[in-house]
Amino acid sequence: MKILFLFTIISLSLFARINPFVSTETYEEQKTQMLKKLYEKEALEEAKKSLIAAEEKKKQEVLSSETKEETVEKKIYHKVKKGCQEKYQYTPLAFVKIETSIDTMKIYIDSKFRLLSQDILVENNKFVFDFKANLIFYTKREQLCHNYFKSFAIGNHPKEGYFRMVVALEEDIKNFEESVDTKNSIITIYRKAPAK
Q: What is the pLDDT of residue 121?
A: 95
Query: For position 111, what pLDDT does the model report?
Result: 92
pLDDT at 186 over 90: yes
- Given a cut of 70, whether residue 77 has pLDDT beyond it is no
Most confident among 31-45, 63-77, 117-131 (mean pLDDT): 117-131
In this predicted structure, what is the pLDDT of residue 70? Answer: 47
Burial 48-70 (b: 16+ CB within 10 A, else e): eeeeeeeeeeeeeeeeeeeeeee
Q: Provide DSSP, 123-181.
A: GGTEEEEEEE-------EEEE---SSEEEEEEEEETTTTEEEEEEEESS-GGGEEEEEE
- The answer to whether residue 57 scores a pLDDT higher than 70 is yes
pLDDT of residue 166: 97
- Using a pLDDT cut of 90, give the percent of the chain over it: 45
- Give 80 or 127, the one with higher predicted confidence: 127
Q: Whole-model pTM above 0.75?
A: no
pLDDT of residue 66: 56
Q: Does residue 114 sit in helix, strand or coil?
A: strand
* pLDDT surpassing 80 at residue 33: no
